[in-house]
Structure 1
Amino acid sequence: MPRRQGYALLIALVAGTAVLAAAVAFGTARLTTERQPTASGSGTQAAARNPAAPANSTGTWVVTWTGAPVTGEPDTRNGFPGRTIRNIVHTSVGGDAARITLSNLFGTTPLVVEQATVNTRPVTFRGLPTVTVAAGRQIVSDPVTVPVAPDAELVVALRTPQAGGPVTHHPNTHRTSYLDDTDGTWRTTTWRYLTAVDVRNDVPPGAVVVIGDSLTAGSGSTTDADSRWPDVLSDRLDHRYGIANQGIAGNRLLRDSPSHVNGRGGQAGVHRFERDVLSVAGAKTVIIALGINDVQQPPQEPDPQRIVDGLRSLTERAHARGLRVIGTTLTPFQGFPTWTPERNAVRLAVNERIRAGGIFDDFVDFDRAVRDPYAPNRILPAYDSGDRLHFNDTGYRTLGRLVDLDAVAGTPKSDAF
């Protein structure tokens, strides 16, 4: 299904809900393995999801979509008992089967899911249709034999029968999803519980994992247009690679965001890197687009060396797993309320170090591409969403076209920095 025509799939959603209800059977699968980090970022790191296909199938598993868990959704202590959550996601690479990851990372009580479907096909967990996910953990489903088209909309529906929360969620998705109950259907721009969809593919070259902030998540872009810059990159790669967009609005590199408990920001890049990058199925290349919020969000980081060291530490961790790393320079924000000459000087110092080399295998100069040549500390007006920090669709298209496809497909540097 082509990207811009994917909305036709939503016509089938009401019928899909009925099929989902019909798929219920007795039995519960309880998650007993794969310990996850706690909501504060402490605890044992997540184990990588097994990239191998089942023994009775061919092909390998590669991610087609991700939505990084951000925090517990405010005012959801009781969750959504008796309601069906329909997460609408957009695929990158296609395959002949799918599996989903459900997360209760920020829940304080067990999450019970009694029904789950992918495009109306029933999902099981260890052979059973119902699953209980302990607080602070996640589970990967059994493979679902369902064709998944590249560059298309996918409907992942979940029904929770009992109270329990808070709901692990990803807000500000720039994508319309739905909540169904006996009173009707409600539109939402939040993904709930679902954090990844993998597909089985015969010839995937791998996945590109992008860890970033609101500029990666697409703040300022048009809802349902899939115009974030990783979407543009996926188009340019002809949807042969999996693309994992792990951008979180408000996210920082070094510090859990001050707004973390209010449903934004999430755990710092250095704390979520294992879960959101190194554990992604089929990961081959990492693009790191973090640091601007360390510069401009209070409390600001005044030392550019700490940001540089943080970026280099992520590169070293990725290299230890055999991944290639591409970084991006920090973009202008003069005119945004938090801008000061001192904070801008930190941004410029970080960019100077990135351009000098020794941090990443390669880098993309986002700053140079989007700055106003007559006022280089500002975004070019044609790219500005209106707040002097985030981009419009034209700006994100420019960023997505800037990434060198050969650099994405390259291999990690073997020498240590």
Structure 2
Amino acid sequence: MSTESEPQAPAPDVPESPAAQAPAGPPMTRNIQEIPVSNRVLHDILRGSAVNTVLAVLLALIVGGVLIALTNAEVQAAAGYFFARPLDTLAAVWAAVAGGYGALFSGSIINFSAPDFATAIKPLGNTIGFAVPLIAAGLGIAVAFRVGLFNIGARGQMLIACAAAALVTFQLNLPALIQVPLTLIVGIAAGALWGGLVGLLKARTGAHEVILTIMLNYVAFYLISWMVRVPELLQKPGQIQPISRPTPVNGQLPKLPGLDQLDWGFVIVIVATLFVWWLVERSSLGFRMRAVGENPHAARAAGISVPRVYIYAMLFSGGLAGMAGMFQIQSTITSGFDGNIDAGIGFTAITVALLGRSRAWGTFWAGLLFGALKAGSFPMQALQSIPVDIVLVVQSLIVLFIAAPPLIRTIFFLPKTDSERSARSRARAARRAERHIDPSDSKAAAA
């Protein structure tokens, strides 16, 4: 027996697989997992901690206090001889700021100088009254944010809801037990359809929701402005002014038992907050919505229908905005409405959702805060001669600081987050790559 191995036949030529033929490089899944810019921006804004939120509000109040002091006549007079008697200027500043924020508190929370308890807590009822439509609209904006959508159309959704409710239910003359919920349901459905139209157009055509919602705001405004001029549609009978028919008494939200300042809108908005919390945080649809909000490409790869989620999100968002419109005509303004019935709530709700980090209960408390700012701004102007615009500046600054967490951490000397540190590391690596510097060369890297 020969010990030499027998020669083997050469292996047949087998064509390489496409994966083997492909040049070395980043995997194809990298493109699938890349997060869109809009989702990254929302994620960065909304993932901040409660500490950042509190500090943002505190910093906005500090800047507001500075503006109160600068616009106060007594402070300006005392500043003329600051170097002679600096304590007079400081005392005037303290009196102006303390008086302004004291009037804000007494006009929005409780008035300790009131003669009885019912009068003392009346400011709290005003705060809740202003906050209820803000919370409802803010919840709608928050739902869209969690899916990575910028719903700038809450104003148009509120207007369409008001028009639909007025057309369908105002002349029914049904018992209040039927007409109140029917009016509310019709308004919510109309707002949902107006918002769902945006989701459908984005899902089918890829149109950007910001452009769609802004343009539909104009469509709704001019449509309502025309409808309140036509007697056969919305115009109040026997009236030449462009205003709608008043909300019938049996269509208005009844007051809560024993609480003259509050109606059932506050209870409804609490239920809506619970529903949004369950929808987003606990339901299977909410899981798909959050997945799309984090990364729609990865969600699509996991088998989630991203277009369908967009439609669902805008339906819920528009419906909640429509609910805010119903609170306006069923509780706040019942004498008739026009194209300005939203009263800026549609845009302020964006601030409320951002302050609440697009969480249901965070939005609820943020709405109460903004309701308190609005309720307290009127006593500030009446008692302390402080312009209402100061409160608007404070609200705008809250948005600015909420949208810029690194600015808050820099001002208050807070440690940077892991994402910021990794972002800086990636930026340094990119600069080194552009300069063709070897990272192992410490001298070149330092240069």
TM-score interval for Structure 1 and Structure 2 normalised by the shorter chain: under 0.3
Structure 1 or 2: more helix by fraction: 2
Structure 1 or 2: more strand by fraction: 1
Which structure has the larger Rg over C-alpha atoms?
Answer: 2
Higher relative contact order (CA 8 A, sep 6+): 2
TM-score (norm 2): 0.21
